[in-house]
């Protein structure tokens, strides 16, 4: 039996139309996605803002019903057998807000253990084990409001493990964390899969995170899965290409060479994409003619971002 099976999942959200046009229009956030996740697998949904990652997670964790299609977790239908699903899973939601900031870490976990009817003795043992695992045992009696963002996220993960779930869902687990905390969280997630045998489905828009952690990755864009493979398999799509990254000031806004804008900071635009070597001087000439200032041109090792650019023509953070 697969841990997760998703077949032709669609989700329509009603769009708010301003008065006096009362006609309801629908926005198709998921356009029929299908994938499976094996038991013990660390599976990633990678995609830009608005791709449909959180919508997928909400459906799989029974928080939202799909418009059509089917999803099963550990063999149970997420709509018809939602109770059975909920007993066996847990979720760390995006921007976790479900901890009680006026309670200590220990009190939070004791409370959530009671919600799952974990017997008192067992709860005490599990809470100690979990707080040690996430490195918060020494700080167990501090109020959560005095925790850093990274400590809150670690506690949120401990909270999500309190019912010993077989499948754990993590929505952007390192979003907004400092570098050290993000590393800690990624190591923790790896350990959960390798040592505790959990199945993990996580979402991220950091390609290096997906690449480092995931056994397989589904790249999702505008409600569709546009590629699904191991990180190595995905990177094969760009392995023979010359990947060029250009930093430029006063970027004219487009270029005829198909490079995607991957970021823009302090007036410096970063362009990236696959380019024939003989086109490099032509690109520079094109930019300079339009009064742009080329700061650097570098040939880079292909990454998952290049796969995304190749498939969509856009950068992940666009
Ligand atoms: N409750 C809602 N009502 C209407 N539209 C919604 C609702 N929730 C999400 N959407 C839309 O559905 C699309 C997918 O949203 P979703 O939150 O699943 O994306 P995401 O991949 O998680 O994005 P992000 O990286 O920003 O978290 C977006 O265009 C979003 O605006
Ligand atoms: Mg999201």
- Looking at residues 228-233, what average pLDDT do you find? 96
Residue 156 domain-assigned? yes
Question: What is the distance between the alpha carbons of residues 123 and 117, in angstroms, rounded to a whole number?
Answer: 9
Residue with more model confidence, 94 or 283: 283
> What spacing in Å lies between the alpha carbon of 95 and ligand 2's midpoint?
9
Residue 309 domain-assigned? no
Measured from the Cα of 13, ligand 1's closest atom is: 4
Domain boundary among 197, 216, 235: 235
Strand ranges inside the chain, DSSP E: 4-15, 25-37, 42-46, 68-73, 76-77, 89-92, 167-171, 199-204, 216-221, 224-229, 243-249, 260-265, 268-274, 293-300
Under the banding of pLDDT at 50, 70 and 90, the label for residue 19 is confident
Domain boundary among 219, 235, 251: 235
Under the banding of pLDDT at 50, 70 and 90, the label for residue 318 is low
State whether 199 and 119 are in the same domain.
yes
Helix axes 149-160, 179-194, angle to 10 degrees: 20
Residue 312 domain-assigned? no
Mean pLDDT, the chain, rounded, equals 94
Please give the share of the chain, as a percent, with pLDDT higher than 70. Answer: 99
State whether 153 and 247 are in the same domain.
no
**Using one digit for the tens of pLDDT, what is the confidence trace for 169-192?**
999 999 989 999 999 999 999 999
Q: Which residues are placed with Cβ below 5 angstroms of ligand 2, an ion? A: 53-54
The whole domain housing 81 covers: 4-235
| Position 1 pLDDT exceeds 90 | no
* Ligand 1 pocket by Cβ (under 6 Å): 13, 27, 29, 47, 49-55, 94, 205
The domain total for the chain is 2
Radius of gyration over every alpha carbon of the chain, rounded to an integer in angstroms: 22
What's the pLDDT score for residue 9?
98
CATH classification of the domain holding 12: 3.40.50.300
Domain boundary among 209, 235, 261: 235
CB contact set of 234 (below 8 Å; sequence gap of 6+): 217, 219, 227, 304, 307
Residue 277: DSSP 8-state: T
> What spacing in Å lies between the alpha carbon of 22 and ligand 2's midpoint?
28
What are the b/e assignments for 89-113, b being 16+ CB within 10 Å?
Answer: bbbbbbebeebeeeebbbbbbbebb
Measured from the Cα of 220, ligand 1's closest atom is: 21
Measured from the Cα of 14, ligand 1's closest atom is: 4
Question: What is the distance between the alpha carbons of residues 41 and 55, in angstroms, rounded to a whole number?
Answer: 21
Contact (CB, 8 A) for 53 and 45: yes
Which listed ligand is nearest to 171 at the C-alpha?
Answer: 2
**Using one digit for the tens of pLDDT, what is the confidence trace for 127-185?**
999 999 999 999 999 999 999 999 999 999 999 999 999 999 999 999 989 999 999 99
Phi (first) and psi of residue 66, to 5 degrees: -70, 160
- Looking at residues 70-97, what average pLDDT do you find? 94
> What spacing in Å lies between the alpha carbon of 160 and ligand 2's midpoint?
18
Helix, strand, or coil here: 248? strand
State whether 169 and 250 are in the same domain.
no
Phi (first) and psi of residue 90, to 5 degrees: -160, 170
Residue 314 domain-assigned? no
Q: Which residue has the least CA distance to atom 30 on ligand 1?
A: 50
Under the banding of pLDDT at 50, 70 and 90, the label for residue 96 is low
**Using one digit for the tens of pLDDT, what is the confidence trace for 33-44?**
999 999 999 999
State whether 115 and 248 are in the same domain.
no
Question: What is the distance between the alpha carbons of residues 13 and 26, in angstroms, rounded to a whole number?
Answer: 6
Measured from the Cα of 47, ligand 1's closest atom is: 21
Helix, strand, or coil here: 56? helix
């Amino acid at each position: 039996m697969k841990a997760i099976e998703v077949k032709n999942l669609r989700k329509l959200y009603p769009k708010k139309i301003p008065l006096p046009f009362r006609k309801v229009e629908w926005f198709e956030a998921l356009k029929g996605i299908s994938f499976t996740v094996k038991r013990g697998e660390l599976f990633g949904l990678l995609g830009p803002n608005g791709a449909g990652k959180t919508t997928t997670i909400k459906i799989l964790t029974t928080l939202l019903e799909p418009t059509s299609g089917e999803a099963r977790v550990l063999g149970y239908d997420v709509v018809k057998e939602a109770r059975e699903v909920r007993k066996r899973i847990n979720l760390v939601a995006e921007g976790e807000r479900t901890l009680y900031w006026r309670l200590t870490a220990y009190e939070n976990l004791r409370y959530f253990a009671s919600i799952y009817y974990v017997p008192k003795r067992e709860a005490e043992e599990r809470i100690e084990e979990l707080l040690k695992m996430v490195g918060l045992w020494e700080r167990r009696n501090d109020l959560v409001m005095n925790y850093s963002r990274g400590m809150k996220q670690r506690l949120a993960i401990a909270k999500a493990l309190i019912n010993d779930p077989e499948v754990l869902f993590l929505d952007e687990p390192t979003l907004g964390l400092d570098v050290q905390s993000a590393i800690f969280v990624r190591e923790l997630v790896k350990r959960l899969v390798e040592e505790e045998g959990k199945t993990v489905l996580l979402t991220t828009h950091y390609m290096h995170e997906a690449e480092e952690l995931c056994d397989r990755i589904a790249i999702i864009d505008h409600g569709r899965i546009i590629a699904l493979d191991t990180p190595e398999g995905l990177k094969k799509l760009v392995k023979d290409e010359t990947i060029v990254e250009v930093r430029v000031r006063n970027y004219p806004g487009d270029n005829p060479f198909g490079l995607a804008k991957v970021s823009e900071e302090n007036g410096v635009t970063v362009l990236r994409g696959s380019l024939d070597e003989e086109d490099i001087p032509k690109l520079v000439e094109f930019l300079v003619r339009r009064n742009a200032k080329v700061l650097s041109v570098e040939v880079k090792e292909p990454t998952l971002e290049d796969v995304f650019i190749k498939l969509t023509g856009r950068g992940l953070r666009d």
